[in-house]
Structure 1
Amino acid sequence: MSVTVVGARGFVGARLARRLAAEGAQPWTPAKGDPELLKRDLGVVYYCAGLTADYDRRPFDAVEAHASLVSEILRAGRFDRLIYCSSTRLYDGLPQAEVDEAASLVFDPADPRRVYDLSKALGENLTLARSGGRGVVARLSNVYDGAEGSPGFLSEWLIKAGRSRDLTLESSPHIRRDYIHLDDVVSALIAVAGGSGIYNLSAGALTSNAQIAEAFAAEGWRVGFTGAADPPPPPNASATRLAGLGVRARPVRDVVRSHLRGLGT
């Protein structure tokens, strides 16, 4: 069966395409705007296109990436399976401390910063309701990696650690997030292709900046923070469904310690 990775030049899509190629899948990785995307048989489609850091500055591009293009792929119908990459940020408006994939989502349509959530939610709806049962949604939590150029707060933290053992971070020790390493995301995406419905690609546990800083300190790094804010944590996204497929994200502090020890060799 053929495989297509949409967004293969992005953070997640690039690593996924490399893994699939290493396993002999020879994925097709169309460039943005390639007209063949709507003409050829795509096989299993991993839809990794999206905007994260600059969605607020480029709201119309965010809608195009999160909903419009996947709508066109679904309308063309030339695929066997479609795995749509979404985000656990969709839970941020919920009051519960713990949520799973069955939770109903809440959005404020008047909030301009909700264009990310609303466009992702539309992409999810199209994938689940307009794919003829061939769609799966993967909601990714905070993805990180230590390779140079990797985006995200923890990625940048790990990259800085390769340059200095004395770090000052523009954040607060009290901020809590769920983290999943990029390699674990790739393993999870491959696994959920055989599933159905929605899966949280998460560790299933919130970790504070202070707890991660302790892992750095144990390996000989000094970490300071410029802020002291202590906002309410986001809902903790359950990883139980993902574990049912045999995939479990490695604890973030274990990965951090391993990465730092590698820097010391």
Structure 2
Amino acid sequence: MALYTVFGGRGFIGSEVVRQLEAQGHIAYVPARNDDSILERDLGIVIYAAGNGDCKNTPFSVLEANVSLLAQLLQYAKFDRLLYVSSTRVYMNQRSSKENENLTVCVDDNRRLFNLTKLVAEELCLKSGRNVCIVRPSNVYGVALNSPLFLPAITRNAINYGKVDMYIAKDYAKDYVSVEDVASSCIAIASTEKSHNQIINVAAGYNITAQQIADVLQEQTKCEIVWHEIDFPNESFPITDLTSITNIISIYKPRNVLVDLQDMISEFSIALRKN
């Protein structure tokens, strides 16, 4: 039994980390917002899953969640190891997704603040001199009834209204990884010295198109898919490289979003009926 402190432990990823830690018999401490004791008590192994991506409406909260609190922990907190949850979004429009490749920030990206803060946070971790590691999950999915994220939103619409409006191109493709796989990977990576000062991708390792997702929704719910002709964002993502994670987790077999989407539809339907 070990002590883990999970920042963002009530959020989408963090709550799954807490659930799995407690199922394994570990102590999972989730600090409340503005808890001053975090700089005084022993935090054990820290999993930093706090974050904010709403660059348009809350830019200063993006900085606070992604960087500022982390900086305090790295300077003053007592912990054995800290794992920071970053994002594979930093690979947007890049040629490669290897963790040690050069990265650029796109001037026409309206969420570039998110990428910038994630990269600043990563660099702070690596320059801190502390025992740290960094994971870059791809697009995390799971059953989250009220989430504004792409997959939960379109699944709700398919079930509730029998219609899904798609404001992306049919061939728009991204890597999707299950929140369960992200949580279990975070725990495994945070718990081994092999990850010291490493940046590690956590992903499925292949991209799924919007058309493939739409096909599953249509088949399972009989919904109407409406493709809208708009100016699509300049976003493309290389296949996520999994070399680093497979060197640390020998049996790494992430779930497939198209298979899980069928279960998500069923779970959403049950949950929405109850509500």
The TM-score, its normalising length taken from structure 1, stands at 0.88
Q: Secondary structure at the match of 2:160?
A: coil
Q: Distance in 1 between matches of 2:201 and 2:138?
A: 8
Question: Is 1:76 matched up with 2:76?
Answer: yes
Equivalent residue number for residue 273 of structure 2: none
Which consecutive segments of 4 or more residues in structure 1 shift more than 6 A?
109-112
Distance in 1 between residues matched to 2:109 and 2:239, nearest whole Å: 23
Matched, 1:173 2:170: yes
- State the one-letter code of the partner of 1:120: K
Residue identity (%): 31
Map of 2:49 onto structure 1: 48
Aligned to 2:12: 11
Instruction: Tell me which residue corresponds to 1:125.
Output: 123
Find the aligned partners of 2:126 and 2:162 in 1 and give their Cα distance: 46
1:166: how far off? Answer: 4.1
State the match for 1:249 in structure 2: 254
Q: RMSD in angstroms over aligned alpha carbons?
A: 2.4
Structure 1 residues 201 and 225: alpha-carbon distance in aligned structure 2, compared to 1, 3 A threshold: farther
Matched, 1:233 2:236: yes
SS of equivalent to 2:68: helix
Q: Do residues 90 (structure 1) and 90 (structure 2) align?
A: yes
What is the CA–CA distance in structure 1 between the aligned matches of 2:99 and 2:89, rounded to whole Å? 12
Deviation for aligned residue 1:38 = 0.8
Measure how far apart 1:5 and its partner are.
0.3
Deviation at 1:261, TM superposition (A): 5.4
Verify the 8 A CA contact 1:200 1:242 in the aligned structure 2. yes
| TM-score computed with the length of structure 2 as normaliser | 0.85
Separation in structure 2 between the aligned mates of residue 188 and residue 8 of structure 1, nearest angstrom: 16
Give the alignment of 1:1-265 within 5 angstroms.
1-52=2-53, 54-94=54-94, 96=95, 98-107=96-105, 113-132=111-130, 134-193=131-190, 194=192, 195-196=194-195, 197-228=198-229, 231=234, 233-244=236-247, 245=249, 246-260=251-265
Residue segments in structure 2 that go unaligned for 5+ positions in a row = 271-275
Q: 1:240 to 1:217 in 2, by over 3 A?
A: farther
Q: Which moved more, 1:7-16 or 1:159-168?
A: 159-168
Structure 1 residue matching 2:29: 3-state secondary structure: coil
Gaps in structure 1 of 5+ consecutive residues = none
Q: In structure 2, what is the Cα distance between the partners aligned to 1:37 and 1:217?
A: 48
- Shift of the alpha carbon at 1:7? 1.1
Deviation at 1:122, TM superposition (A): 1.0
| Residues 110, 235 of structure 1: alpha-carbon distance in 2 compared, 3 angstrom cutoff | closer
In structure 1, how many angstroms separate the alpha carbons of the residues matched to 2:226 and 2:128? 46
> Could you tell me whether the CA contact under 8 Å between 2:92 and 2:235 is conserved in 1?
no
Secondary structure in structure 1 of the residue aligned to 2:51: coil
Secondary structure at the counterpart of residue 257 of structure 1: helix
Distance 1:110 1:176 in 2: 19
Question: Residue 173 and residue 33 in structure 1: after superposition, are their counterparts in 2 closer, same or farther (change >3 A)?
Answer: same
Aligned to 2:135, what secondary structure does the other structure show? strand
Deviations 1:233-257 (A, max 9, x none): 2222212322331223211111113
| Cα offsets for 1:31-65 (capped at 9, x unmatched) | 1110011111101000011102x123222221111
State the one-letter code of the partner of 1:185: V
CA deviations 1:62-85 (Å, max 9, x no partner) are 111111111110111410010101
Counterpart Cα distance in 1 of 2:3 and 2:91: 33
Q: Secondary structure at the match of 2:86?
A: strand
